[in-house]
């Protein structure tokens, strides 16, 4: 299979302290991959490196058939300011930013596409609700509706099921599976290994360094999980403190 992106001796971190060390891995085009590992393993840092929010300390993220222009990125909910005075439809319409920019009109076909994305996520009737009034599940449905409009080939999801109700998780998993069937490349940070085993064919396990990468049943072994935990516990503090220093 063709490579969507490759991590080539990739080291990422903060203030010259590495949170991801010397990562070598290829992500195949059209693959559905879970990124797992203990707390502080560098999972979210890896996604930030892919989108370009962090510059490598060493190595690089190499794009094969895709580029950064093809990315749709969903950060953790805690990274989003839900007090900002936006309505649900305003937030979802941001998925069309590449088409309409800051001053474009939301009308005609564009409005119809936004309404279709809202309907797909079960949010019809929520258009004028302020985002700060939403529940955790409603917030995530709103963000996935925005993703639907971005028409991306590479989708990065950082802990998309945290603080989300079971019915919403089922809806989101169905959408992720549909993306996979359509040939999109999806990379998702997850903690629930049962969800990974059931829904994600490929897994990349991190513990600041690569532990294993491949078919999920071969990666999510008790031996690999124990090794990952030991690798992270070998540090004396969080990634920005105990990651190795890079000159």
Q: Which of 68-77, 190-199, 221-230 has the lowest mean pLDDT?
A: 68-77
232 within a domain of the structure (yes/no): yes
Reported as a single tens digit per residue, the pLDDT across 162-212 is 889 999 999 999 999 999 999 999 999 999 999 999 999 999 999 999 999
77 within a domain of the structure (yes/no): no
Q: Does 237 score more than 90 pLDDT?
A: no
Structure-token match 């990562």, residue found: 23
Name the percent of the chain lying above pLDDT 70: 91
Range of the domain at 246: 1-66+153-163+184-247
Averaged pLDDT, 230-239: 68
Q: What is the 3-class SS of the chain, one letter each residue?
A: CCEEEEEEEEEEEECCEEEEEEEEEEEECCCEEEEECCCCCCHHHHHHHHHCCCCCCEEEEEECCCCHHHEEEECCHHHCCCCCCCEHHHHHHHHHHHHHCCCCCCCHHHHHHHHHHHHHCCCCCCCCCEHHHCCHHHHHHHHHHHHHHHCCCEEEEECCCCCCCHHHHHHHHHHHHHHHHCCCEEEEECCCHHHHHHHCCEEEEEECEEEEEEEHHHHCCHHHHHHHHHHHHCCCCCHHHHCCECC
Size of the chain, expressed as the number of residues it contains: 247
Reported as a single tens digit per residue, the pLDDT across 124-161 is 999 999 999 999 899 999 999 999 999 899 999 999 99
Q: Tell me the pTM.
A: 0.89
pLDDT band for 106, please (50, 70, 90 cuts).
low
CATH number at residue 58: 3.40.50.300
111 within a domain of the structure (yes/no): no
Which pLDDT score, from 0 to 100, does residue 236 have?
47
Can you say how many angstroms the Cα of residue 164 is from the centroid of all Cα atoms in its chain? Answer: 16
Domains of the chain: total: 1
Question: What does the alpha-carbon distance between residue 40 and residue 49 come to, in Å, rounded to a whole number?
Answer: 15
Reported as a single tens digit per residue, the pLDDT across 31-41 is 999 999 999 99
Which pLDDT score, from 0 to 100, does residue 103 have?
53
pLDDT band for 239, please (50, 70, 90 cuts).
very low
Which pLDDT score, from 0 to 100, does residue 183 have?
95
Crossing angle of helices 108-120/136-150, nearest 10°? 140
Which pLDDT score, from 0 to 100, does residue 163 have?
86
Q: Does 99 score more than 90 pLDDT?
A: no
Burial class of residue 136, CB neighbours in 10 A (0-12, 13-18, 19+): middle
Which pLDDT score, from 0 to 100, does residue 245 have?
36
- What are the residues whose beta carbons fall under 8 Å from the beta carbon of 119, sequence distance 6 or more? none
Question: What does the alpha-carbon distance between residue 208 and residue 37 come to, in Å, rounded to a whole number?
Answer: 9
8 within a domain of the structure (yes/no): yes
Averaged pLDDT, 68-93: 87
208 within a domain of the structure (yes/no): yes
CB-CB neighbours of 133 under 10 Å = 12
Q: Which of 45-49, 157-161, 203-207, 237-241 has the lowest mean pLDDT?
A: 237-241
24 within a domain of the structure (yes/no): yes
28 within a domain of the structure (yes/no): yes
90 within a domain of the structure (yes/no): no
């Amino acid at each position: 299979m063709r490579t969507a992106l490759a991590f080539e001796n990739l080291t990422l971190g903060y203030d010259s302290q590495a949170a991801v060390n010397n990562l070598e891995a290829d992500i195949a085009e059209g693959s559905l991959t879970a990124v797992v590992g203990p707390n502080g393993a560098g999972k979210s840092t890896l996604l930030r490196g892919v989108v370009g929010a962090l510059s490598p300390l060493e190595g690089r993220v190499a794009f094969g058939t895709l580029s950064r222009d093809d990315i749709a990125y969903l950060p953790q909910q805690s990274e989003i300011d839900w007090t900002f005075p936006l309505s649900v439809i305003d937030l979802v319409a941001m998925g069309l930013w590449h088409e309409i920019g800051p001053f474009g009109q939301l009308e005609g076909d564009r409005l119809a596409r936004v309404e279709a994305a809202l309907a797909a996520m079960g949010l019809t009737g929520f258009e004028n609700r302020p985002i700060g009034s939403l529940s955790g599940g409603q917030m995530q449905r709103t963000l996935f509706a925005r993703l639907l409009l971005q028409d991306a080939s590479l989708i990065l999801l950082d802990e998309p099921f945290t603080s989300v109700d079971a019915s919403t998780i089922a809806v989101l998993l169905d959408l992720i599976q549909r993306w996979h069937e359509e040939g999109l490349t999806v990379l998702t940070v997850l903690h629930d290994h049962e969800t990974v085993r059931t829904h994600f064919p490929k897994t990349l396990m991190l513990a600041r360094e690569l532990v294993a990468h491949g078919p999920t049943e071969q990666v999510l072994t008790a031996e690999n999980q124990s090794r990952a935990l030991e690798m992270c516990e070998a540090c004396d503090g969080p990634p920005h403190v105990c990651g190795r220093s890079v000159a």
